Chain A
Amino acid sequence: ETGVTQSPTHLIKTRGQQVTLRCSSQSGHNTVSWYQQALGQGPQFIFQYYREEENGRGNFPPRFSGLQFPNYSSELNVNALELDDSALYLCATLGRGERVDTGELFFGEGSRLTVL
Chain B
Amino acid sequence: RKEVEQDPGPFNVPEGATVAFNCTYSNSASQSFFWYRQDCRKEPKLLMSVYSSGNEDGRFTAQLNRASQYISLLIRDSKLSDSATYLCVVVNQAGTALIFGKGTTLSVSS
Contact = CB atoms under 8 A, between A and B. Distances in A.
Contacts, number: 63
A8 interface: no
B43 A100 contact: no
A105 interface: yes
Nearest to B96: A56
Interface of B: 4, 8, 31-32, 34, 42-46, 49, 87, 89, 91-92, 94-103
B94 A56 contact: yes
A100 B46 CA distance: 12
B102 A40 contact: yes
A108 interface: yes
A53 interface: no
A62 B100 CA distance: 22
Interface string A35-59: 1000011111100100000011010
Contact of A109 (B42, B49, B92, B98): B42
Nearest to B89: A103
B101 A48 contact: no
Nearest to B92: A45
Interface in A17-51: 33, 35, 40-45, 48
A84 interface: no
B102 A99 contact: no
Contacts of A104: 46
Please provide the 9 A-B residue pairs with the shortest distance between their CB atoms, ordered closest to farther.
A56-B96, A42-B100, A45-B97, A107-B43, A101-B32, A103-B34, A101-B91, A43-B100, A42-B102
Contacts of A44: 100
Contact of B44 (A90, A99, A101): A90
A45 B45 contact: no
A22 to B, nearest CB: 16
Contact of A45 (B31, B99, B102): B99
B95 A2 contact: no
A48 B43 contact: no
19 contacts: A33-B97, A35-B98, A40-B8, A42-B4, A42-B87, A42-B102, A44-B100, A45-B97, A56-B92, A56-B96, A58-B97, A90-B43, A100-B96, A101-B31, A104-B46, A107-B44, A107-B45, A109-B43, A110-B43
